[in-house]
Amino acid sequence: MTAKAVTNFVATFGVDIILNPDLIVEKNGRFYLVNVALRPLMVRPDFFYAGLFLGKTKEGKFFPSFHLLSILAKEHAQRIVVDRKAAWLFICGRPLFASSVVRVFGSAKRNTNTLVLNEFGECLGFGRIVGDLSAKTSRDEVAVRNVSDVGDFLRRER
């Protein structure tokens, strides 16, 4: 796969970030963003880690790193801000209800990805919009399905 996997994923958040494909290095399905000074040193094919980890591909699907999600959040990608209780439940792997959404930035169309931020603007992960984000909907209707969150690392420790 090429750097196209990264740019295609970024495009799902409705933001145009220009990532120079010459500065994206791929090794074994893992993508790294290196700076101009580091790129000439990448002559050895046996490197372990380089630059900023952007994510990996597995079976043709791209899995982003939280570094990449944070970059997207700073670039005003499609995102929602949730209240304190919902933020905690989200990092525990739970879905979000419309009543817990404090603010919506972007189009918020169904079946699109959205970043999930807490009240302090910290990126907690991302989810898929599956319901109406307006607070007028039923309290027990799922609005955003959790796809990936920062709590995943802790849950894997079991």
Residue-wise pLDDT tens digits, 64-73: 999 999 888 8
Q: Which of 1-5, 36-40, 127-131 has the highest mean pLDDT?
A: 127-131
Strand bridging mode 113-117 / 79-82: parallel
pLDDT score, position 86: 95
Q: What is the pTM of this model?
A: 0.84
User: In this prediction, what percent of the chain has a pLDDT beyond 70?
Assistant: 90
Cβ(69)–Cβ(125) under 8 Å?
Answer: yes
The whole-number pLDDT of residue 120 equals 94
Summary count for the chain: helices (H), strands (E) = 4, 10
Beta strand 113-117 with 30-33: parallel, antiparallel or unpaired? unpaired
Domain definitions of the chain by residue range? 3-71, 78-156
CATH of 78-156, one of 2.30.130.10, 1.10.287.130, 3.40.50.261, 3.40.140.10: 2.30.130.10
43 vs 64: CA distance, rounded Å: 25
